[in-house]
A and B are shown apart, each in its own frame.
Chain A
Amino acid sequence: MKLTLRCRVTLSFGFGLLVVTSVLAFATWNLASGYMLRQREASATRQAEVNVRLVERSLASPGLDELLTGLTTGPDSSILVLGREGLVRAGREVEPSQLPAGLLERPPGTERITVDGLPMLAVARPVAGDAVYVELFGLQQLNRSFTFLGAVLVAGTIGSALLGAALGSWASKRALKPLAELNSAAGRIAGGDLHARLPDQDDPDLAALAAKFNSTAHALEQRALRDARFASDVSHELRSPLTTMVNAGAVLRRRRDHLPGTAGTALELLTSEVDRFARMVVDLLEISRADQTDDYEPEELDLSALVRNVIATRWSAVPVDAGPVRVLGDRRRLDRVLANLVENAERHAGGAIFVAVSRAGDRARVEVEDDGPGVPEALREQIFERFARGRPGSRGDDSGSGLGLALVREHVQRHRGRVWVEDRFPRGARFVVELPALTKS
């Protein structure tokens, strides 16, 4: 698995700071602990030497015991004097066998030892020729200091590694913020929002990128606007003469009886073609409008009510089975979808015989069934293409615009839905539209 850039920056910041602080902590530990130990040794040696002088003077006297007891500094310290007369000791009980032999045989010396599990500093000094004075100093205090120092240093190291990671995360987030903005702006443009722009950047490294992106987006927007304006102009220019033709045609058709024979047939042809042409232009304009402009106005609506209404208004003979399903949709487009499907069935299969609305999981389903010849497997995709004319073998009257099903697919896709055709048992075709349903609120 590849780590994200941000993750890598965060990790390397954390790791870098961990390395640096652990080196520093290690050095500090060494210096401080060495220094403290040396200080302790020096003071212990000094004290031992003073004591040795005192002991030397009263070595032979019987008060040695008492003197030694007076010289011990705490519960953990002990003093041993090993002479010809034997062993005299005070303070904590320590056997000479517990002491390193070298220290007793060749004083003076200083050594760190462990007695009964306790760390001790042993200082040995020769007294009056052949006796040996050994004083043991407890080192627990010092060890506690070492533990504390160690804990502080480890905590500091971990803390700084975490701080490093946090810093890395923050810095990379800041550094990558323009990239995230770029990503979201590009996404919005891809999604059709051509107004998306990047904010002005202060950083010269980023300003050029932002400016280039914005100018590209601007050019794209202008282009889309020009196209939309062109479509709108074409729309206007085509609609006006069509209005004249359609209405002049209607006037003529009304007087069909005055034109018998050939002229009448020609008139019939002319007016029906003009009507078809008008339908084609309207559909063509709608489909090009769907490509370019966005007047999609979704609202929450009950699909079953919409379907019932369209069918009741124009095809009241077609049975409807509709359960309530709420969808987010544009009424005009959804009406168009349904009307086109029913018209398509009329044109190619003798009319729809059943319309159903249901809910399947999180999808709303509209089905339009006919008992015509059905759609061959090979054409099931193709019939949704623009100007895919008639199904072979059907008794289509060819009066459609050739855009009806293409518009259906266009509108359904705009609603993030799907449309397809399947076989119906025992014969005929079933057109199915699936749209995302709204959960009951």
Chain B
Amino acid sequence: MCVRVLLVEDDERIRQALGLALSDEGFSVDEAGSGEEALHRLETESFDVVLVDLTLPGVDGLEVVRTLRARGDLPIIVVTARTDACDVIAGLEAGADDYVTKPLMASVLAARVRALLRRRGPGRESVRIGALEIRPQEGLVHRAGERVHLTRTEFRLLLELAGAGGRIVTREQLLQKVWGYDYFGDTRLLDVHIRRLRRKIEANPDDPELLLTVRGTGYRIRS
């Protein structure tokens, strides 16, 4: 099945070049030149992944990400020309699953999209951690009987940690297993996702009881 990608980018030349290169990589690429257009198209059509440039005229990229995240767990990759920590973190906090910085190569982007869409292997038994119940087969998480809405990436991250059964999972392992590409030191991606996950599963995200940080190494789930 052909992966449908929506490319939201205001610079027409980039849009064309990236569109062509991504098509070469085997994706079906649709283009949107503004945030409004993107949001409108996403209401009526379905895509597998959205690539959003952060600096858009009108409704900016962050707003698009936030709106999409409020609607559901559609995988989002943020594209940014600014590599300052705050821009990257803002994009991830808004709900993006991953980010790439310009000048980006279509091949790299393609690898990340594939990693993001990769299906999990055969489902496992459901896992219980404290008040949390994870059902990998259905992709559902319940906290004290109530459903918790996690994005695909957050779910995979939680499952990876839960699967270790209380052992420490290093940051490198998490980056490789969850995002699946050649990890290159940028742990902001992981930090922000851990923060997002804690907000959803912890009673008090500032004083986590389930998802514990192991300083200098990684994370583990309290078993």
Contact = CB atoms under 8 A, between A and B. Distances in A.
Interface of A: 232, 235-236, 239-248, 250-251, 254, 278, 281-282, 285-286, 289, 293, 295, 297, 299-302, 305-306, 309-310, 313-314, 326, 331-336, 339
Contact of A246 (B103, B170, B215, B217): B103
Contacts of A297: 85
Interface in B98-113: 101-107
Interface residues of B, number: 35
A17 to B, nearest CB: 56
B150 to A, nearest CB: 26
Contact of B20 (A247, A285, A305): A247
Contacts of A235: 81-83
B187 interface: yes
B185 interface: yes
A332 B184 CA distance: 7
Interface string B168-185: 001110001000001111
Nearest to B176: A313
- DSSP majority for the A interface? helix
A243 B103 contact: yes
Contact of A247 (B21, B82, B186): B21
Interface string B73-107: 00000000111110000000000000001111111
A243 B14 CA distance: 6
B182 A313 contact: yes
A240 B185 CA distance: 24
Contact of A250 (B21, B85, B216): B21
Interface in B194-223: 215-217
B140 interface: no
A334 B187 CA distance: 12
Contacts of A278: 103
A302 B187 contact: no
A239 B185 contact: no
A295 B85 contact: yes
A335 B184 contact: yes
Contacts of B11: 240, 244
B24 A236 contact: no
Given A235-B81, A243-B14, A299-B216, A250 B183 contact: no
Contacts of B17: 243-245, 247-248, 251
B185 A326 contact: no
